[in-house]
Amino acid sequence: MPGHGAVDIRAGGVRCGPAKAVAAAAQGRGRQPYEAEGFACEPAEADGGDTAYTCTRGDARLGFRYRTA
């Protein structure tokens, strides 16, 4: 959707391609937990109606903010 998307992606122990795929999978989740690329992602409310996601797979971690507008 225009105006929606993942920003401020921070990753450790995961390559850029899979990290981007995990973040892109947040689209349409409506602030619900989800799994992608073997990562378990947990949402939290962020400022401005955005969602902050923390995703883990073993020792690998990924965090990003999903903007709503």
Contact 25, 42 (CB under 8 A): no
What pTM value is reported for the model? 0.88
Domain positions in the chain: 5-67
Task: State pLDDT tens for residues 28-66.
Answer: 888 899 999 999 999 999 988 899 999 999 999 999 999
Give Cβ neighbours of residue 12 (< 8 Å, ≥ 6 apart). Answer: 60, 61, 62
State the Cα–Cα distance between residues 56 and 5, nearest whole angstrom: 20
Residue 5's pLDDT band (cuts 50, 70, 90): confident
Residue 3, beta-bridge partner list:
none
State the Cα–Cα distance between residues 30 and 36, nearest whole angstrom: 15
